[in-house]
Structure 1
Amino acid sequence: MADLTKQGGIGDFLARQGILIAFVVFMVGFSVANARFIDPDNIMGVVRSSAIMGVMALGVTFVVISGNLDLSVGSMMSFSTIVVLDLHDKIGPALAIPAMFALTLCLGAFIGFLVGYLKLNSLIVTLGMLSAIHGLTLTWSGGKNMDIADKEGTWFKVFGQGDALGIPVPILLFALLAAVLGIMLAKTPFGRKVYAVGGNATAATFSGIRRARVVFTCYLLSAFCVATAGLIQASRSLGSQNTVGQGLELEVLAAVILGGASLMGGSGTIFKTVIGVLILGFIQNGLLLVGLQFYVQFVVTWVIIILAVWLDIAAKRGKLWSLIA
C-alpha cells in the first residue's frame, strides 16, 4: 500500500501540489488538441466567464476551511441579481447596489447565526435556505424575469461590461477580492482562527477562540462575495432570469474542493481555490473546443472531484488506498 507519511514522498507531494500539476496537464493537453485553446482572446474569455463563480468560491473557501458548508450561494446569487435589477429602475443604481448588499448580508448573517451560534448542522441549514431563498426570489420578482429599462444610458453596466487598461472589470474584481481575502486568510489573526476552528473546534474553543463569531463572520464573507457576483451578473446582462444562480452552488463547491480545501475543515488556500475555478472553466471550454458535447463536462468534473477528495482523505490517513477503513 502506498505510504503518504514519509516527508517528501510522492503522496505528500500530490496532496500538496496535485492541483497545480493537474492545471498544467489540462492546459497542455487541450492546447495540443486544439491550438485555439491558448489563443489570448479565448483565455481572457474563459477567465472572464469564470469570474462570477470564482468570486463566490472565494467566500465559500472561508466557510469550508472553518469546517462547514454553504449550499445556499446559488439561490442567494439569484436573489442578489434580481433585487439589484428591480431596484435599479425604482431608486437608481447608486442606492440599489448598497441596498442589495445589505439584504444579501442579512441572509448571510441569518445563516451564520443558525450555524455559528445555534450550532445547527451547516448542510441541513444551507440546504433548507437554498429552497427558502429561491422562494424569496420568486416572491420578490412575482415569478417574472427582470430587465433594466434604459440599458444604453446606465453606468451600472460598467461592473459586468467595462474594462480598465484592457482588462475586463469582472476579472479585476475577482483578482482584487482574491488578493484581499488571500491576505486576510493567510496573514491575519482572523485567518488563523478560521484554520483553528476548522481543524479542531473543541481545541480552538479551549484556546479562547470564539468559534461562533468566527463561523458567523465566515458566512458574512460568503454573502458579501455572493452579492458581488450578483452585481457582476446583473451588470453583464442588464437583465436576468430569476433562476440565474440555480446549480451554481455545486460548481462553486467543486472549485473549492479542487483547490485543496478539505471537507473536514482546517485546510485550503485562496490561491488554490482560484486555480480550482480556472480548472473548471478551462475544462468546460476545452471540451467544447475538442468537439465534445457540453454535458460531457459534468462527467469529467465528477471524476476530477472524486480524485481530489480521494487524495485529501488519503493524505489524512497516510495511505493512497487501504482494504481496511
Structure 2
Amino acid sequence: MAAALSLSVLLATPLAARAAGAGHPALHVTGTTTDGRVHPLAVESRHPRLSWTLESSGRDAEQSAYQVRVASSATALRRGSADIWDSGRRMSDDSVGVTYDGPARSAGSRSYWQVRVWDAHGKPSAWSAPTSWEAALDTTADWHGAEWIGASDPEAGAPLLRKDFTLDKRVTRARAYVAGLGLDELHLNGAKVGDHVLAQGASPYDRRVLYDTYDVTKSLHRGANTVGLWLGHGYGTTYSPYGFRWQGQRQAVMLLDVTYSDGTHARLTTDPSWTWSNGPVTADDLYAGETYDAREEHHGWDTPRFDDGAWKDAVRVDAPGGALHPNTMPPVRVTDT
C-alpha cells in the first residue's frame, strides 16, 4: 500500500507542476530603453545596452530566459524577421543592460528591436512593441565636410547665421546635427527647433564637444527652406574658473541630412556661403544676465522670404580642440514661468 501511495505521488507531481504553470499569469514586457533612453537618435556605442521592465498580474513572477531580435524596420519585426540580429533564446534573468551583440550600425542608421521573455515555468510572453535607436555620427567623414563657421567680427554679441536652400523632392526623414559654442538655437522655416534651451551641454572643450541631434522631418518641405543658427556666449568670466567655460569666438558646425521618398539624400552643411548679422541680444552671460536691444530684431530672418542682402558672409573659424560626441544628457527645458 505504501509503495502504491509513493507511486501515485511521483506521478502526480509533474502533472501538478504543469497545471500550476498553465495557470500562472503571463509576464508582459514594457518600458524598453536603449542605453537608458527611449527611441534615442544618437547612440555612440557600437554595442548599446538594451533594457526592459516586466509586469505580471500574479505574485512571485520572474524571468527565466529572453530573446531579442533586431531588424531594419518595424514592419520586418512584425513579420517575424530579424534581418540584423537575433539573440536566440538565452537562459538568463537579465533585463537591464543586455548587450546588443550584432553587427556595428552605420552612422545615422536606424535599428528596430523587440524582446520576449519566458517565466519560471517556461511560458513565453508576447513580443514587446517595436522600439528603435539611431547610430550617432562616428567619424569626421560622417559630417560630410561641415565646417566650423562664425561671424566675420569676432566681437559680435550673439550673432544670427542663416542659409536658404531648396529641396526638390518629397521629404520622408530629416535629421539635424548641430554644435554651437558657447550656446546655440537651431531654427527652421520661421520656428525654433525643439524645446531645448541653453543647448548644448558644457564640456571640457579641449577634449570633448557635444552636439545635439534633432528630428526635423516635419520642419522641412519640398521647395524653398531656410535654416538659422543663433549663437550665445554661455558661461562668461564671472563663472567659476574651475568649471567648463567656452572662451573663444561664438561658432557652430551643423549637418542637415535629408532623406527623400525615393531613398536618395540631400545634405546641407555649415560653410562660408552662410550669412550673418548681429541680433537683438548684444551681450549674454548665464550669471551676469542679458542685454536685449529690440531695435536690432530681424523679423523673419529664419524664413525663405527674408532679404539678407545687407548681411555679411560667415567665415571659417578654427575648430575647438575636442572631438565631437553626441549629447546624451536630458535637455534643459522651460517647465514653469
- Class of the TM-score when normalised by the shorter of the 2 chains: under 0.3
Normalised TM-score (structure 2) = 0.20
More helix by share: 1
Structure of greater Rg: 2
> Which structure carries more relative contact order (alpha carbon 8 Å, separation 6+)?
1
Normalised TM-score (structure 1) = 0.20
More strand by share: 2
